[in-house]
Chains A and B, each alone.
Chain A
């Protein structure tokens, strides 16, 4: 056996396991990163703009400037993630050279390739990818993703899509578990997912990697809702720093995520935390505004 092996799938998926039960927060400055860390976030996502502002700004959204990413890495001791455009493997090479702890190949940014995702097996740094259903999740894992997040609809402060996607993944997992072995190949074809991964899902009764919920969590009760629906943890994008009191909101979301089964505590932490971000009703989004339909 080799003396020391780096970048193995165990090591990549392992960091995600360590984040379970926690909250990962989008931050755009070192000051925000420190607020997130002090509130008890298990990791931060370094960005140039939060999704709500990306939505408002329009145009092409790209990887954050290395200067922003580096300044956030220097400010906190918790893991730092950063986003690259779908298929933009050079942005990923750049972030790997900065030694970020996780790369999010994200539909929040404008896709760079409308056919292929990044071949994530070639990297030492682990990747997290978004998914709306089981087939999408397993295709990303087949490409080397070591962590999944259900997509939701980023930057809306509306939890409805996050709920839809997590319920969809869970329903399809139940279907896989109930399907006889002889019919799995056909189901795999229907899901457009590799058969070996579908078999693995049946064996485990869950995804083979950690699955966080993202895209719309804007209150402590939203976070507890996603945890009760079976998420391993929570990504909060715009929900913290677009609220009226980010400090209090960050602390409350962390505590609601930990005590998600205790409505008294969720009630308690929801007091005096200011206003959640203003939300967007899904029906008002045009098809072009829907980030979740990118990179499927």
Chain B
């Protein structure tokens, strides 16, 4: 399976390495034609304003929206990616996908001095706790009825899923642990890709 990492800006390299370590083929996606060649997409951490603006100029916002609507295209957004996937954003709103039924509060954890790391228990990821890195992180303040929370930190939802869409406030690519990427590839993307090829 070929998983793309949106390569406009941010920590693209770390995501590409994690995708490859998790056993999928990793590819950078900067254009609509590169998007057509992947079976799932990760939107990395970075500046959501910058990424959203340049996605729009490249025509990537419409192209991703279309694939999600037509074929339940798997998309995982980390941090900035969460903001870009959220239907509603508190604070200044960048151009974005607006696909997932959540409300995101930008930089709700505070400025950089408040950034932190903490161990999490994640539903669907057994074994030891996962060391999550939060950097100027957004909070998910509301979840729609179809959204499943997967992890909490101090009572706050920090990872959630809605069908083919996955989001986390934290950066699983910042530590060597690849289990969140494995979850996205094997539990979110794989079943959708298998269904699609089975049906055709």
Q: Report which A residues bind B (CB closer than 8 A).
A: 1-8, 10-11, 14-15, 17-22, 37, 40-43, 77-79, 96, 99-102, 124-126, 254-255, 258
Contacts and interface: CB of A to CB of B under 8 A. Distances in A.
Contact of A22 (B50, B129, B131): B50
B45 interface: yes
A266 to B, nearest CB: 15
A15 B41 CA distance: 22
Main SS class of interface, A: loop
Interface of B: 7-14, 45-47, 49-50, 53-54, 79-80, 91-92, 106-107, 110-119, 129, 131, 133-136, 153-154, 171, 174-175
Contacts of B110: 99
Contacts of B115: 6, 11, 14-15
A101 B112 contact: yes
Contacts of A258: 8-9, 54
Contact of A10 (B12, B13, B113, B117): B117
B46 A77 contact: no
7 contacts: A7-B113, A8-B116, A18-B10, A18-B135, A18-B136, A19-B46, A79-B111
Contacts of B50: 22, 40-42, 78, 254
Contacts of A1: 119, 129, 131
Q: Which of A2, A8, A11, A99 has the most CB of B within 10 A?
A: A11
Contacts, number: 120
A172 B136 CA distance: 34
3 closest cross-chain pairs (CB), A and B: A101-B112, A21-B9, A17-B11
Contact of B136 (A5, A79, A124): A79
Contact of B46 (A6, A8, A18): A18
Contacts of B53: 40
A15 B171 CA distance: 11
A235 to B, nearest CB: 15
Contacts of B80: 18
Contacts of A2: 118
A22 B9 contact: yes
Contacts of A20: 9-13, 46
Contact of B133 (A10, A19, A21, A78): A10
A7 B45 CA distance: 19
Contacts of A4: 116-118, 153-154
A6 B47 contact: no
Given A11-B117, A99-B112, 11 more contacts: A1-B131, A4-B117, A6-B113, A6-B116, A15-B112, A18-B47, A22-B50, A41-B50, A77-B91, A78-B50, A79-B112
